[in-house]
Amino acid sequence: MSTFRSDFLHTLHERGFIHQVSDEAGLDALFAKETVTAYIGFDPTAPSLHAGGLIQIMMLHWLQKTGHRPISLMGGGTGMVGDPSFKDEARQLMTVDTIEANIASIKRVFSNYLAYEEGPNGALMINNAEWLRSLNYLEFLRDVGRHFSVNRMLSFDSVKTRLEREQSLSFLEFNYMILQAYDFVELAKRYDCRLQMGGSDQWGNIVNGIDLGHRMGTPQLYALTSPLLTTASGAKMGKSVNGAVWLNADMLGPYAFWQYWRNTEDADVGRFLKLYTTLPMDEIARLVNEAQGSGINEVKKILATEVTAMLHGRAAAEAAAEAARKTFEEGGVSADLPTVEVAAAELEAGIGVLAAFAERTGLVASNGEARRQIKGGGLKVNDASVTDEKALLTARDLNADGVIKLSLGKKKHVLLRAV
RNA sequence: GGGGGAGUGUCCCGAGCGGCAAAGGGGGCGGACUGUAAAUCCGCUGGCUAUGCCUUCGUAGGUUCGAGUCCUACCUCCCCCA
């Protein structure tokens, strides 16, 4: 279990990526012997992946880095069905337009982690719409459907909750696992893809693909899943104070992304360094060992900067780190904080604090929320608590840099800039 | 097909004799303590042009001064019988 000969499995294991593998010895031997092609599927359910999906991307990254060929598979076909695994109700069906738009948007982050280039281990970006959308129903049933036992499909944990209580499982969704299995076989045939990876919730779907491969005459296929990641206190990865931690910069800026990692719980720092950065293992060990008490904050900054640098580039990561330093350690104002512009004339006339926090910057959801926060001492203008909900912000509140700093709590800041 | 039960604050779970903006949790947000951590403690957790107004308890009607609460129909789900 713990000693792998191949670079790839050895690396994945020591960094904590492995939850389950279908045939450890066999897969290890394969990786030690030849360049292996492996894939992970991404469903286009939103215009961006979030931090929860980062672990999958990192697995592909290591795959390529250890000399093998990664395939990032976009679910342009499977997205039309929707994966019911471990969901307690059906998702709303997406239109083809939405799916295509989501894929185009999701794709953008991959090139930061994978090299899409010619060559034996150049990464491939593939869309399963390519073969799924043109399937002929009757042919598909006869060629592929006959290999599936409904009895067995009903026994999977991934659909059990749906079957035993709550909501119904539509025939449409029930087909998802068949399509995903078919994808694996199709990729095996077209690209000699031998391994499918994914989150632990994908185990059943992946194993179905292996079985289908047996029946349809592919070489031996393999499954590898990563653990379902939660923080040390049990929260799911990828949620932050403002909602999901999106990877796309237009949905979550580098500064906010950096902040998410900066706020990692102490107990998670070592684990996250291994999973989400490419720092060498001995250096990670050194960092974690040296961090005594509050010294761990320095390590959290390294974590945040490394993770952000991979996604948004080194320069953006360092700008985010610097913005945070000015804001938190000097109590000052950094021009790199999120900024909202207002017309100088409006500011001259005066903008109500409630409007400034709610409508203009969206720091709070409504005027009512702003009032409550004022009562609780949560809103600040230029670092001074707001006590009067009728107060007006005017040009006099602009600081030397021509901005007004609005804060919700200690961590969320937005600058109001007059233009 | 027959019988029984259930759908509650658009994050979730859940109480609710006809006067309810609706108990209690969880989650979330803010405050205190700290280290931009965890744990703990405290406050808040429908909207608004706000001593008032508007919207909310599966959907649509009805009874009533007044309905989450009663009646009718419909939708969805669960359980038992066939």
Per-residue confidence at A161, pLDDT binned at 50, 70, 90?
A: low
Distance A275 CA to B42 C1' (A): 37
Q: What is the mean pLDDT of residues A38-52?
A: 89
Asked whether residue A233 carries a pLDDT value surpassing 70, the answer given is: no
Q: Which residues touch strand B (CB under 7 A)?
A: A 164-168, 232-233, 235, 240-241, 259, 262-266, 293-294, 296-297, 300, 324-325, 327-329, 358, 365-369, 371-373, 375-378, 408-412
Q: What is the pLDDT of residue A158?
A: 76
Nearest nucleotide to A235 (CA to C1') is: B27
Nearest-angstrom CA–CA distance, A377 and A282 = 45
Asked whether residue A252 carries a pLDDT value surpassing 50, the answer given is: yes
Q: What is the mean pLDDT of residues A70-98?
A: 83
CB A60 within 8 A of CB A70: yes
Distance A174 CA to B45 C1' (A): 38
Q: What is the mean pLDDT of residues A246-272?
A: 90
Residue A69, SS3 per DSSP? strand
A220: Cβ contacts below 8 Å, ≥ 6 apart: A23, A26, A194, A213
Distance A326 CA to B8 C1' (A): 47
Neighbours of A386 (CB within 10 A): 21
CB A182 within 8 A of CB A144: yes
Nearest nucleotide to A324 (CA to C1') is: B36
Distance A34 CA to B60 C1' (A): 67
CB A260 within 8 A of CB A234: no
Enumerate the nucleotides of strand B whose atoms come under 7 Å of any protein CB. 27-32, 34-39, 43-50, 76-79
Neighbours of A317 (CB within 10 A): 23
Residue A393: phi, psi to the nearest 5? -95, 130
Distance A288 CA to B24 C1' (A): 42
Q: What is the pLDDT of residue A269?
A: 92
Per-residue confidence at A183, pLDDT binned at 50, 70, 90?
A: very high
Total residues belonging to chain A: 419
Asked whether residue A41 carries a pLDDT value surpassing 70, the answer given is: yes
| Cα dihedral across residues A372, A373, A374, A376: positive or negative | positive
Angle at A151 between CA A148 and CA A153, to 5 degrees: 60
Q: What is the pLDDT of residue A399?
A: 87
Q: What is the pLDDT of residue A166?
A: 47
In which residue are the tokens 């600081």 written? Answer: A399
Q: Which residue has the higher pLDDT, A150 or A240?
A: A150
Asked whether residue A83 carries a pLDDT value surpassing 90, the answer given is: no
Nearest-angstrom CA–CA distance, A209 and A189 = 13
Q: What is the mean pLDDT of residues A181-191?
A: 97
What percent of chain A has pLDDT above 70?
93
Asked whether residue A359 carries a pLDDT value surpassing 60, the answer given is: yes
Nearest-angstrom CA–CA distance, A358 and A366 = 5
pLDDT digits (tens, 9 = 90+) for A265-279: 898 899 999 999 999
Q: What is the pLDDT of residue A165?
A: 53
DSSP symbols for A170-202: -HHHHTHHHHHHHHHHHHHHHH-EEEEEEEGGG
Distance A414 CA to B62 C1' (A): 53
Beta bridge partners of A13: none
Q: Which residue has the higher pLDDT, A117 or A1?
A: A117
The highest-confidence range among A28-32, A353-357, A375-379, by mean pLDDT, is A28-32
Distance A326 CA to B49 C1' (A): 40
Nearest-angstrom CA–CA distance, A341 and A351 = 13
Q: What is the pTM of this model?
A: 0.89
Q: What is the mean pLDDT of residues A151-173?
A: 72
User: How large is the ipTM?
Assistant: 0.84
Alpha helix (H) residue ranges in A34-118:
51-65, 96-107
Q: What is the mean pLDDT of residues A115-133?
A: 95
For chain A, give the mean pLDDT: 89
DSSP symbols for A9-26: HHHHHHTT--SEES-HHH
Asked whether residue A172 carries a pLDDT value surpassing 90, the answer given is: no
Asked whether residue A162 carries a pLDDT value surpassing 80, the answer given is: no
Q: What is the pLDDT of residue A89?
A: 63
